[in-house]
């Protein structure tokens, strides 16, 4: 998909073209006018429609699937069941671990959760498929299920040794500490709830498969499809021009994709399958429910002596999802003694998945609540106690921070918020019936690094084209890559066309873990630099060039024109120069891979996450940081909590486009408000089924729930983190919002709510 | 594929005749009906679209009261200057209901007829037992997730909450539902579930809501609708109260009081015990709070909805006190 950069007549665009400029989203007009075509809007001849049939029990075996009535229904082309669907091969996981050599069936015979795909109907029209799907009769031999973490049958789960982090003697230090805090915190199942539901169109031409599907990771998903269907990787093309929200849920090829692609193969026709909204609650996993106990031993001054942390998260019966609950606990505060361990508990649910800041998000809810409890226990201001325990280096890795502007974030945030005016006692600030509370919490997210690849072309008309198989799900890839190419080559940003979202383009890894901007600006910078070098090289050395006679060492390209640094030679447009030297374009591929990388290394880098560089690689520990200051108003009679003010100061290093970074931060904070106050998958304990599986009952914040949010950048360029100095943006800001709100609620009411969400019945 | 026929009614009479046929349903804004059809709850054989009927969307307000045509849009009624002046609680109930988009589509007649949000009612594929949908099949909600279910007016057969806001305001002010020539009070229009939760309204096949009439009263002119919920907008009530008050000449003694509850009962719920306890008394916070507890007399919870029994009287008290303040 191509996005032409345009002028917006928006004053904020002034001088916005360069890296670091406040250029508005170049894909904005297409989205606002409706001309942006999303993956499943593709029109194909002969398109057939598939609809999923889901299990209505949470545990057991499919006894019988009666398809006779559905098959006889008008328009029905095929009913797929575990018995009739073609056999696929098991694909490797996202680390690229070689899979067991066994078949894979995306339709289940053994039921491990309610809402599992058991059959699918394909028909000429969507309506026919929906009607026929209701006629498929499935009977089960039901067995008892384990509903969730609190189920008496759930047990303690499986220890995940890789999550254990220990130094010093945490238990002994805790036992002898003068001040001891111990509390348990719970977070429920939460869902990404993207506006655009998951879905795809699969189309086979011989052994070549094209999939139009919203995707956070074209190359990774193409690999999975290739392995499932046992065709070469090159035979699979993923196309994903725009993504209507992913939040972690669109990074992997999922079983519904296997169903649609199988149906397309079996029918020899393109097949479209889109999940219903209820199916988006069981067709793939949201954030796992978690439970943590955090104990802190401290001295009377609030200086931490020991942290002991135990966490569990739920996973499915047959899949493994580890939500790293000790990730923030182990780095936020300096402590001489530390112990963190984690178990994973199997329940009858779909395997949980990545949702904005997996791990860091619930982890911060635990530690950032507990430190607040400690502050009250020892009678120290919650901001002051954070500064007293400030970690001057990574306490776990024992390495220097690459950059950590957290102290600055606390200072700037507190100043803008007016923290000094806070009266410490709970229930000490009110406005009529409204109890007012001010809370603070910090957040962090590691800098995940990988390699990327891009092509930059300088075309005959002087415009610049960028191609990459990376994607834009609203975070601004189209825009910042245009800025990067514009600045590097020396053309206005509206002369740059960025093409993304097609796996035929130069490769990119996952748009997850807040890494894509850092990876891709680096790749485009390299490709653009080499294109510029070629351009200048031609201008200097080609005998047909007007600059040839000048015998200059270098030339300047700016604003689409090329001239000598001293201004003593010709001054002409890039287009003119290319004409004079007889070239219709210049092309350069750039990547950030190590020089000696093999083709296999490259494949592995782009299709798995196995080559991502550890954030503590080398001498530094690399993270983004933030501090949230939040005011809540709690109605003393009704227990309703409203967030009335947010000031957050954030360190994401250098910002490639502050306008887009601020928008991402605000989005994260809004999602955090939803997590704190509204979001929870509610399970019927008898049936193991999510009952609020729609957007009327699964509540996310509305505009009315969101006050003005002030976000302030306190970052400085961090060249240990990325080529151009940025750290992660997308996930950081949600981390710490829920504890800041819970802490504010405590300040307002004197009630410590340790189970999210903080709904009104917990406060009345 | 589920085919259905679609008829655009040319007159009220034609609509009523068509709607009398079995399997036929009236289609107004469609915000409830289409939604329920997608859930597999409503399976009409034919639809009679009444949205093109002329003259049914009028809003008339006079000294005697208001008459609101069944096809008036929720948004129009909420914004109507005379409704705001004479019946503030009605306007407030409407603008706090649903979303702006839904209010622009949805009609007043359809609004009264909206169905419960009970998640078991709305998911026939997974929960075949629902007495409201299938008489005699049982109730999946009892023993299940009940946070949003009713605590007042429930029966062993059904505990589904009536979710509408408008009807709560209407019942407080003795509004009347016009079914063509027949007229029924709002209180009588909504039925308790008892043993027949499938029968929700005192309306017969072939009848249609044509208008709603709200008699003028001093209490209605000084009224408010207070809606409490976890989310600030676009959510049904955890508990709500429509309150209207009229004072004696002294400005302190309560001459007339109207109190109705939403979000807590199986039908729009008039809290007459609260009204009687306070009529003739001087408005005073402690007395109001004590009397408001009467609003939930006889309430029965099913676990997760217990909070409604605590919450509802507080909402009532706040609404009454707020109306007192503006004296
Ligand atoms: C997500 C969501 C949130 C909502 N939130 C709220 C809320 O907070 N508060 C609230 O009060 N409501 C809420 N609603 C309900 C909404 O107000 C109703 O859906 C709407 O008022 C129905 O009006 P309609 O014209 O669209 O009715 P339709 O959907 O057309 O009809 C509804 C029913 O009424 C029947 N009907 C329609 N007109 C007549 C008539 N004149 N005579 C007899 N029968 C008739 C139809 O046959 C059908 O059974 C919400 C709805 C949704 C979908
Ligand atoms: S409460 Fe009523 S509507 Fe809900 S399942 Fe029970 S019978 Fe059906």
List, as one string, the DSSP characters of A243-274. -S--TTTTSS--HHHHHHHHHHHHHTS-EEEE
Asked if B318 and A637 come within 8 Å (Cβ–Cβ), the reply is yes
Q: Do the beta carbons of residue A311 and residue A158 sit within 8 Å? A: no
- Statement: the pTM of the whole predicted model exceeds 0.95: yes
**What is residue B296's DSSP assignment?**
G
Looking at the domain assignment, is residue A474 inside a domain?
yes
Last residue of a domain, one of A607, A636, A656: A607
- Note whether A376 and A311 are within 8 A (CB): no
pLDDT per residue as tens digits for the range A449-485: 999 999 999 999 999 999 999 999 999 999 999 999 9
Q: Do the domain assignments include residue B80?
A: no
Domain co-membership, A544 together with A649: no
Closest chain B C-alpha to A702 CA, distance in angstroms: 7
- What integer is the mean pLDDT of B137-150? 98
ipTM beyond cut 0.95: yes
Note whether residue A57 is domain-resident.
no
A174 lies in a domain?
A: no
CATH number at residue B243: 3.30.390.50
A290 alpha-carbon distance from chain centroid: 19
Residue B267 included in any domain: yes
SS3 content of chain A, % helix, strand, coil (to 5): 25, 25, 45
**C-alpha span between A82 and A120 (Å, rounded):** 10
B293 inside domain? yes
Q: Is residue A98 part of a domain?
A: no
Asked if the structure places residue A4 within a domain, the reply is no
Closest partner residue to A677 (CB to CB) among B230, B307, B315 is B230
* Residue numbers of the domain that contains A512: 450-607
Asked, for residue A56, whether it belongs to a domain, the answer is no
Q: What pLDDT was estimated at residue A420?
A: 98
Do A457 and A585 reside in the same domain of the chain? yes
The answer to whether residues A575 and A637 belong to one domain is no
Question: What does chain A come to in residues?
Answer: 764
Which residue stretches of chain A have pLDDT < 70?
1-15
Supply the angle between the helices A360-378 and A737-749 in degrees, to the nearest 10: 30
Last residue of a domain, one of A590, A607, A624: A607
Task: Report the atom number in ligand 2 closest to the C-alpha of B120.
Answer: 5
Please check whether residue A300 lies inside any domain of the structure: no
Please count the structural domains in chain B.
Answer: 2
Give the residue, out of B42, B118, B192, B302, with the most ligand 2 atoms within 8 A of its beta carbon, to mutate for a pocket test: B118
**Is there a single domain that holds both residue A481 and residue A603?**
yes
Has residue B96 been placed in a domain? no
Boundary of a domain, candidates A607, A628, A662: A607
Three-state SS for B190?
strand
Q: How far is CA A726 from the centre of its chain?
A: 17
Beta carbons of A760 and B307 less than 8 Å apart: yes
Q: Are residues A600 and A467 in the same domain?
A: yes
Question: A116, A644, A684: which to substitute to probe chain B, counting the most B Cβ within 10 Å?
Answer: A684
CA-based nearest residue in chain A for residue B125: A56
B302 inside domain: yes
User: Is the domain of A518 the same as that of A541?
Assistant: yes
Beta bridge partners of A649: A627, A712
- Tell me if A47 is assigned to some domain: no
Query: pLDDT tens digits for A507-528?
Result: 998 998 988 999 999 999 999 9
Q: Are A428 and A454 within one domain?
A: no
Contacts of B93 (CB under 8 A, 6+ apart): B165, B166, B168, B169, B225, B227, B240, B242, B262
* Dihedral Cα A601, A605, A609, A611, nearest 10 deg: 50
> Residue A612: what pLDDT?
87
Q: Are residues A463 and A532 in the same domain?
A: yes
| Residue B68, ligand 1, Cβ within 6 A | no
Residues of chain B neighbouring A687 (CB-CB closer than 8 A): 126-127, 144
pLDDT of residue A4: 41
Tokens coding A493: 């940003």
Looking at the partner chain, which of A56, A433, A705 has a beta carbon nearest the beta carbon of B231?
A705
Please state, in angstroms and rounded to a whole number, the distance separating the CA atoms of residues A601 and B305. 57
For residue B159, the ligand 2 atom closest to its alpha carbon is 1
Inside any domain, residue B21: yes
Mean pLDDT of B106-113: 98
Answer whether the bond into residue A757 is a cis peptide, omega within 30°.
Answer: yes
Question: DSSP letter at B232?
Answer: S
Residue A44: Cβ-neighbour burial (10 angstroms; 0-12, 13-18, 19+)? middle
Q: How many residues can be counted in chain B?
A: 327
Q: How far is CA B290 from CA A139, A500, B244, B297, B298, in A?
A: 55, 65, 18, 12, 16
| CATH number for the domain that contains residue A467 | 3.30.365.10
**Which residues of A are known catalytic residues?**
731
pLDDT of A549 reads 87
A434 and A472 assigned to the same domain: no
Q: What is the mean pLDDT of chain B?
A: 97
Residues A603 and A455 grouped into a single domain = yes
Q: Is A657 in the same domain as A635?
A: yes
From atom 6 of ligand 2, which residue's Cα is the shortest distance away?
Answer: B139
Residues A536, A442: one domain?
Answer: no
B31 in contact with ligand 1, CB cutoff 6 A = yes
Given the structure tokens 């609030």, which residue do they identify?
A: A302
d(CA B283, CA B321): 8
Q: List, in sequence order, the alpha helices (H) in A547-598.
A: 574-580
Confidence of residue B326 (pLDDT cuts 50, 70, 90): low
**Runs of H (alpha helix) within B32-80:** 33-39, 74-79
B19: CATH: 3.30.43.10
B299 within some domain: yes
Task: Please state the domain count of chain A.
Answer: 2
- With CB atoms and an 8 Å threshold, state whether A678 touches B231: yes
Q: How far is the CA of B32 from the centre of ligand 1 (A)?
A: 4
Residue B42's domain comprises: 5-49
Mutate to test the pocket of ligand 1, among B98, B99, B100 (most ligand atoms within 8 A of CB): B98
Partner residue facing B231 (CB), from A685, A686, A699: A699
Residue B183 located in a structural domain: no
Question: How many angstroms separate the Cα of B273 from the Cα of each of A726, B278, B288?
Answer: 65, 9, 12
């Amino acid at each position: 998909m191509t996005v032409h950069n345009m002028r917006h007549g928006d004053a904020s665009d002034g001088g916005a073209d360069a890296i670091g400029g406040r250029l508005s989203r170049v894909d904005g007009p297409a989205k606002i006018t409706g001309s942006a075509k999303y993956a499943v809007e593709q029109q194909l001849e002969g398109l057939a429609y598939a609809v999923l049939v889901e299990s209505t029990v949470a545990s057991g075996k499919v006894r019988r699937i009666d398809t006779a009535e559905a098959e006889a229904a008008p328009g029905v082309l095929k009913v797929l069941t575990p018995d009739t669907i073609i056999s696929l091969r098991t694909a490797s996981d996202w680390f690229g671990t070689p899979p067991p050599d066994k078949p894979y069936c995306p339709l289940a015979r053994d039921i491990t959760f309610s809402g599992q795909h058991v059959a699918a109907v394909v028909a000429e029209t969507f309506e026919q498929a929906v009607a026929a799907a209701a006629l498929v009769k499935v009977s089960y031999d039901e067995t008892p299920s384990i509903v969730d973490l609190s189920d008496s049958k759930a047990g303690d789960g499986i220890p995940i040794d890789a999550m254990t982090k220990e130094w010093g003697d945490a238990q002994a230090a805790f036992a002898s500490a003068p001040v001891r805090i111990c509390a348990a915190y719970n977070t429920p199942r939460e869902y990404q709830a993207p506006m655009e539901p998951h879905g795809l169109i699969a189309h086979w031409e011989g052994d070549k498969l094209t999939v139009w599907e919203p995707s956070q990771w074209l190359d990774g998903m193409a690999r999975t499809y290739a392995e499932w269907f046992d065709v070469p990787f090159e035979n699979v093309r993923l196309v994903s021009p725009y993504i209507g929200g992913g939040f972690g849920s669109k990074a992997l090829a999922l079983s519904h994709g296997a169903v649609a692609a199988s149906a397309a193969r079996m029918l020899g026709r393109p097949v479209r399958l889109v999940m219903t909204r209820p199916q988006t609650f069981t067709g793939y996993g949201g954030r796992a429910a978690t439970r943590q106990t955090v104990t802190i031993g401290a001295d009377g001054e609030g200086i931490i002596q020991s942290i002991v942390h135990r966490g569990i998260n739920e996973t499915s019966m047959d899949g493994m999802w580890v939500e790293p609950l000790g990730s923030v606990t182990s780095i936020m505060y300096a402590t001489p003694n530390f112990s963190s361990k984690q178990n994973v508990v199997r329940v009858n649910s779909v395997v949980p998945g990545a949702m904005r800041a997996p791990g860091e998000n619930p982890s911060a809810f635990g530690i950032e609540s507990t430190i607040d409890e400690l502050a009250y226990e020892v009678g120290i201001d919650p901001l002051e106690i954070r500064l007293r325990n400030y970690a001057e280096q990574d306490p776990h890795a024992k390495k220097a921070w690459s950059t950590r502007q957290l102290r600055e974030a606390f200072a700037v945030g507190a100043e803008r918020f007016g923290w000094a005016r806070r009266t410490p006692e709970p229930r000490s600030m009110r406005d009529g019936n409204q109890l007012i509370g001010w809370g603070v919490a910090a957040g962090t997210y590691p800098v995940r690094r990988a390699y990327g690849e891009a092509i930059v072309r300088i075309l005959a008309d002087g415009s610049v084209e960028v191609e990459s198989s990376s994607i834009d799900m609203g975070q601004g890839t189209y825009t910042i890559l245009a800025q990067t190419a514009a600045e590097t080559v020396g053309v206005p940003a509206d002369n740059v066309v960025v093409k993304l979202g097609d796996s035929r383009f130069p490769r990119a890894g996952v748009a997850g873990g807040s890494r894509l901007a850092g990876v891709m600006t680096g790749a485009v910078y390299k490709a653009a630099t080499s294109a510029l070098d070629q351009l200048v090289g031609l201008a200097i050395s080609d005998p047909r060039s007007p600059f040839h006679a000048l015998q200059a060492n270098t030339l300047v390209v700016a604003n689409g024109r090329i001239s000598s640094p001293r201004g003593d030679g010709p001054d002409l447009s890039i287009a003119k120069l290319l004409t004079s030297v007889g070239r219709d374009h210049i092309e350069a591929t750039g990547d950030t891979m190590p020089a000696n990388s093999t083709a296999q290394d490259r494949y592995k880098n782009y299709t798995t996450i196995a080559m991502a560089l550890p954030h503590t690689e080398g001498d530094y520990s690399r993270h983004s940081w933030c501090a949230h200051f939040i005011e809540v108003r709690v109605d003393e009679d009704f227990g309703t909590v409203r967030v009335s003010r947010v000031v957050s100061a954030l360190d994401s290093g250098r910002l490639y486009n502050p306008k887009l970074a601020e928008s991402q931060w605000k989005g994260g904070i809004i999602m955090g408000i939803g997590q704190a106050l509204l979001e929870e998958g509610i399970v019927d304990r008898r049936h193991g089924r999510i009952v609020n599986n729609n957007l009327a009952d699964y509540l996310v914040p509305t505009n009315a729930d969101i006050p003005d949010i002030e976000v302030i950048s306190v970052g400085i360029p961090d060249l240990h983190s990325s080529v151009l100095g940025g750290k992660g943006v997308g996930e950081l800001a949600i981390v710490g919002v829920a504890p800041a709100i819970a802490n504010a609620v405590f300040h307002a009411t004197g009630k410590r709510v340790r189970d999210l969400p903080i709904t009104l019945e917990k406060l009345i | 594929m589920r085919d259905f026929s679609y008829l655009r009614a040319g007159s009220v009479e034609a609509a009523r005749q068509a709607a009398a046929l079995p399997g036929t349903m009236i289609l107004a804004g469609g915000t409830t009906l289409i939604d329920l059809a997608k859930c597999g709850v409503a399976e009409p054989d034919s639809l009679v679209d009444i949205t093109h009927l002329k003259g049914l969307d009028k809003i008339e307000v006079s000294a005697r009261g208001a008459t609101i045509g069944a096809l008036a849009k929720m948004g129009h009624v909420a914004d109507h200057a005379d409704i705001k002046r004479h019946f503030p609680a009605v306007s407030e109930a409407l603008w706090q209901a649903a979303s702006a988009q839904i209010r622009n589509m949805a009609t007043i007649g359809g609004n009264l007829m909206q169905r419960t949000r009970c998640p078991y009612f709305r998911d026939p594929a997974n929960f075949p037992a629902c007495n409201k949908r299938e008489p005699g099949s049982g109730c999946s909600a009892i023993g299940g997730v009940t946070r949003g279910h009713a605590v007042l007016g429930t029966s062993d057969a059904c505990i589904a909450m009536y979710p509408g806001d408008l009807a709560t305001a209407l019942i407080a002010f003795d509004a009347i539902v016009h079914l063509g020539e027949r007229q029924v009070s709002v209180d009588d229009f909504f039925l308790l579930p008892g043993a027949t939760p499938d029968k929700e309204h005192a309306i017969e096949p072939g009848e249609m809501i044509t208008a709603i009439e709200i008699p003028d009263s001093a209490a209605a002119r000084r009224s408010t609708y207070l809606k409490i919920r976890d989310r600030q907008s676009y959510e049904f009530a955890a508990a709500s109260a429509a309150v209207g008050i009229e004072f004696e000449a002294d400005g302190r003694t309560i001459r007339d009081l109207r109190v109705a509850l939403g979000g807590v009962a199986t039908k729009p719920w008039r809290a007459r015990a609260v009204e009687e306890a306070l009529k003739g008394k001087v408005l005073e916070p402690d007395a109001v709070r004590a009397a408001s507890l009467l609003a939930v007399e006889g309430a029965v919870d099913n676990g997760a909805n217990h909070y409604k029994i605590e919450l509802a009287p507080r909402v009532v008290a706040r609404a009454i006190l707020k109306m007192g303040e503006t004296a």
